[in-house]
Amino acid sequence: MAEWHDVDGGMRNFLRLAQGLDTLPVLLALQRQPHLWNAKRFRTTFENTPHAEVDDIWIRFSDDELAQGDTAAVMADGASVWHPAAAELPQTKPLILNLMRFAEAYELNRVVITRLAPGRRILPHADDQGAYVHDPHRQRVHVVLQGLPGSLYRTGDETVQMLTGEVWWFNPLLEHEVQNNSADDRIHMLVDMRCWP
Amino acid sequence: MITAQVEPWHPTIDEIKPLLHGHWEELALNKDKVPLDPQWEFYDARDARGELMLVTLREAGRVVGYFIGFVAAGLHYRTCLTLTMDIF
């Protein structure tokens, strides 16, 4: 991992959009419904996936037929669909809609909740392949549902600690990795949006 | 990988307390005359006033080290915010 970057000294690969969000309703809903985790395995099992140590829940993603293992097809796919977990996690709706309004988004794309246990990693990778990530309107934001000190996120040569209730934009085209060295699970909701140009 | 991070006093101190006795056994002098007996109420009070700093070292999420210091204006230098180390 890179050394700590001075947050006040010109960060380029991250931007903290908000802090102090109440994430407890979503966390409680997740705690009550453990069956939601890992219902879909594409992201965490495709060959050489950097997310092998992650559990996830798809709220919106490519449809099941497309996400059968053809990574190139998924990487090109901009047509996200709702998955059953969306109906079981209505607590995510206000977070997502408020975020879209704040970011002036006109279209909601993929929404995935990920969980990384203490001591686990997301391996270095860049989301720089396929048409999906190269749409200039599309932005990726992390809503930190649970993040404790020691949950480190590196993008390029900058590393930040993402804490509960914060919302971060980052540049997924650059190499990034995660090390959860905190005392508890790191639980993030990734929200992709197309934003007003 | 070991990482260092500033953490809140509560609840992190509960993870540190089990390490204290071993730390004291390994490092303290004159243990027969100076028993380990932290005045936790004073730590809590200083934390409540924003005068306590806790840094942890974690490996795979587990606390493997710690630094505790007290932050206050210097007695001799009123305008100089000063950290006085408690233990590490």
Q: Which of B1, B8, B15 sits opposite A181 (nearest CB)?
A: B1
Mean pLDDT confidence for B53-76: 95
Which residues in chain A have Cβ-Cβ distances shorter than 8 Å to B59? 119, 181
What's the whole-model pTM score?
Answer: 0.86
DSSP string, chain A: -PPPP-TTTT--SEEEEE-----HHHHHHHHH-GGGTTS--HHHHSTT-TTTTEEEEEEEES-TTTTTT-HHHHHH----EE-THHHH-TTHHHHHHHHHHHTTEEEEEEEEEEEE-TT-EEEEE---SSTGGG-TTEEEEEEEEE--TTEEEEETTEEEE--TT-EEEE-TTS-EEEEE-SSS-EEEEEEEEEE--
Whether B15 shows a pLDDT value over 90: the answer reads yes
**Residue B36, min C-alpha distance to chain A (Å):** 26
Whole-number pLDDT of residue B64: 95
Q: Chain B window 4-63: which residues touch A at a Cβ cutoff of 8 Å?
A: 5-8, 12, 15, 56, 58-63
- Chain A residues touching B65 at Cβ < 8 A: none
Kindly identify which residue of chain B lies nearest to residue A162, measuring between CA atoms: B5
CB-based contact A53:A117 (threshold 8 Å): yes
Q: What is the pLDDT of residue A8?
A: 55
pLDDT digit string (tens) for A57-109? 999 999 988 888 788 888 888 889 999 999 999 999 999 999 999 999 999 99
Residues in chain B closer than 8 A to A147 (CB atoms): none
Average pLDDT of the residues in B57-77 = 95
Q: Do residues A23 and A164 touch, judged by C-beta distance below 8 A?
A: yes
* Positions of chain A with pLDDT under 70: 1-9
Q: Which fold has domain A15-195?
A: Jelly Rolls (2.60.120)
Q: Which residues from chain B sit within 8 angstroms of residue A161, using beta carbons?
A: 5
Residue A66's closest CA among A43, A99, A85, A86?
A: A43
Side-chain-side CA neighbours of A18 within 13 Å: the count stands at 17
Closest Cα of chain B to A120: distance in Å?
Answer: 7
Joined together, the tokens standing for residue A37 give 């985790």
The whole-angstrom separation of Cα B1 and Cα B59 is 6
Phi-psi region of A165 (alpha: psi -120 to 50; beta: other; left: phi over 0): left
Q: DSSP 3-state assignment of B10?
A: helix
The CATH class of the B2-87 domain is alpha beta
Nearest to B61 among A1, A118, A161 (CB): A118
What ranges do the domains of chain B cover?
Answer: 2-87
What does the domain layout of chain A look like in residue ranges? Answer: 15-195
pLDDT at A24: 98
Res. B81: pLDDT tops 50: yes
Q: Check residue A76 and give its pLDDT.
A: 86
Amino acid identity of residue A140, one-letter, is R
Across the range B9-23, mean pLDDT stands at 95
